[in-house]
Amino acid sequence: MMTDLDSEPLSSWKDKALFTPGPLTTSRTVKQAMLRDVGSRDTAFIQIIREIRSGLLQVASLSPDAYTAVLMQGSGTFGLESVVGSVIPPDGHLLVAVNGAYGRRLVRMAEILRIRVSTVERPENEPIPPEVVEQALASNERMTHVAIVHCETTSGVMNDVEAVGAVVRRFGRTFLVDAMSSFGAVPVDWAAAGVDFLVSSSNKCIEGVPGFAFVLARKAALLAARGWARSLALDLVAQYEGLERDGQFRFTPPTHALLAFHQALRELAQEGGPAARGARYERNRRIIAEGMRAMGFRSYLREEVQGPIISSFFYPDHPAFEFEPFYQALSRRGYLIYPGKVTQANCFRIGHIGRLEEADFRGLLLAIRDVLHEIGVPVPLPVSQQTM
């Protein structure tokens, strides 16, 4: 079957700008870093793995004496499952704070692994209040672990992991954080927050390419979990011990993705680290927020709970609007946005991350205006859309 990529001559082909939460637009130099074939057991490649693990702890401002970085093949979900399936004991009980699809995925993961799981839940447009976690822990002393999603990209809402972590620490429980879409751009004092296991992915805010996830783990909590793994390939402790022993993955590593990530870490440092990258993403977000508002679009989230990673917008309240033709028209112009994932509203999403600058976002806004005109939706949008 022919695709859009197949129909483009190689001499004129240009990547479309990805306004998504990952995979995302990467720099030319990150792409170029993959143009090598390396041996997975070669000493130079093992040194790259060592530098990646060390570099991740530096990005997180975590001490290598107390914390370690474990790399795991596969997507971010593989990394999450390696944590959930490896660090909760057979008689453990996981509490998951849920306000979106990725919190629900953690619950489903635990259920499939036959781990006892409970939830505290809030709507998809609201953060998790620390008080509800406190109430749940106070009511059930058998809960051993707590998990939360830092940036819930279902909507773009941010959860306060430091405030929730303070509660978890006070109760002496183990704290798991899905920082998939925030790590590398949203500075957090992870140690002060009491995070025992943080999971993120190579193709998010560090601006690498897909291929592996990573877990930043408190060593004492990690080593205490030896023998609890419910999987051979996703055994987090065994993966850590293999990396410590000889610097190698236990199974074939994604060599090209690791080379790209090594370069991406350098570029994160050159940009000024997570604070500087997060500031660029926030500038991008504000451009989109102001431009979409000027066209009459309404944001799904209140400004005070909106994070810098991705924004959700209600569909225009007009009979001529359908998402798929809207999406395809933007794609033909070189702009890829994301369909909605919110369960209670018709929305689409625009990501602010990746190697994109102000001009890219202003170009997207012009393209959206152009497409709306093409499909017969007036701009500004009808007043009914603004007052829903």
Length of the chain, please?
388
Show the tokens assigned to 74. Answer: 């596969």
Find out whether 72 and 78 touch, Cβ atoms under 8 Å: yes
Quote the number of domains for the chain.
Answer: 2
Q: 43-60 and 255-271 are packed helices; what angle lies between their axes, rounded to 10 degrees?
A: 40
> Do 342 and 369 reside in the same domain of the chain?
yes
- 66 and 51 part of one domain: yes
Predicted pLDDT at 384: 57
189 and 55 together in one domain: yes
pLDDT of residue 382: 78
- Tens digits of pLDDT across the chain (388 residues): 444 544 444 344 468 999 999 899 999 999 999 999 999 999 999 999 999 999 999 999 999 999 999 999 999 999 999 999 999 999 999 999 999 999 999 999 999 999 999 999 999 999 999 999 999 999 999 999 999 999 999 999 999 999 999 999 999 999 999 999 999 999 999 999 999 999 999 999 999 999 999 999 999 999 999 999 999 999 999 999 999 999 999 999 999 999 999 999 999 999 999 999 999 999 999 999 999 999 999 999 999 999 999 999 999 999 999 999 999 999 999 999 999 889 889 999 999 999 999 999 999 999 999 999 999 999 998 765 444 3
- Pair 173, 245 in one domain: yes
- Beta partners for residue 73, in sequence order: 212
Co-location of 123 and 46 in the same domain: yes
Residue-range definition of the domain harbouring residue 134: 33-270
**Looking at the structure, do residues 86 and 235 belong to the same domain, yes or no?**
yes
**pLDDT value, residue 12:** 41
Residue-level pLDDT at 344: 87
- 157 and 222 housed in the same domain: yes
- What are the tokens at 224? 């205490």
pTM value is 0.93
Residue 107 maps to which CATH number? 3.40.640.10
pLDDT per position as a tens digit, 264-317: 999 999 999 999 999 999 999 999 999 999 999 999 999 999 999 999 999 999
Query: Are 221 and 237 contacting, i.e. CB atoms less than 8 angstroms apart?
Result: no
Is residue 185 domain-shared with residue 37, that is, in the same domain?
Answer: yes
Same structural domain, 198 and 312:
no
Residues 330 and 349 in one domain: yes
Query: Cα dist. 312→27, 302, 303 in Å?
Result: 25, 11, 12
Pick the last residue of a domain from 270, 298, 323: 270
Same domain assignment for residues 266 and 278: no
Q: At what angle do helices 236-246 and 43-60 cross, to 10 degrees?
A: 120
- Among 232, 251, 270, give the residue marking a domain's end: 270
CATH number assigned to the domain comprising residue 309: 3.90.1150.10
Residues 169 and 216 in one domain: yes
Given 236, 270, 304, which residue is the final one in a domain?
A: 270
In Å, the largest CA–CA distance within the chain is 64
pLDDT score of 258: 98
